Amino acid sequence: MKRIHIVAAIIFNQDKSQIFITKRPSDKHKGGFWEFPGGKVEQGESVEQAMIRELEEEIGITVTEQALFEHLEYDYPDKSLKFDFMTVSQFENQPYGREGQEGRWVDINALPDYTFPEANVPILERVVKEFS
């Protein structure tokens, strides 16, 4: 099974006390779960370029500062994913669910109260441990 390359953003508010998350549409894989916003890396695109494009499309922000947080591979029964999780600490505009999805700022220590896809759980745990 070919791995799908995904970028996902851990977007911090100004004082780094909250992270912006979005809810997956109910008709998608893992619908109704919360996630770090992002999407597929297109052929010929760097991870950084994909992150900028995806966050502009999905939540209407322009990324000005990002860094690799963790690389992770995860296999679901029906698909194989390769993730690059990026921290985003500087951006222009305010994020919102531009594609109709719900989005919200969440205190870092409250992140475990939200249901994330299994592939996101190790990242979620590391974020809470390192930043709360």
Considering its fold, how many domains does the chain have in total? 1
Average pLDDT, the chain: 95
Burial group, residue 59, by CB count within 10 angstroms (0-12, 13-18, 19+): buried
The two tokens of residue 32 are 């109704």
d(C-alpha 24, C-alpha 36), whole Å: 10
Tell me, what's the pLDDT at 27? Answer: 80
User: pLDDT confidence of 30, banded at 50, 70, 90?
Assistant: confident
Coil, helix or strand at residue 123: helix
Segment 66-113, tens digit of pLDDT: 999 999 999 988 889 999 999 999 999 999 999 889 999 999 999 999
Q: How distant, in Å, are the alpha carbons of 19, 30, 32, 76 from that of 87?
A: 10, 23, 23, 24
Q: Give counts: helices (H), strands (E), the chain.
A: 2, 7
Amino acid at 53: R
Q: 23: domain range? A: 3-131
In three-state secondary structure terms, 76 is coil
> Looking at residue 106, which CATH number applies to its domain?
3.90.79.10
User: Cα(85)–Cα(101) distance, rounded to whole angstroms?
Assistant: 20
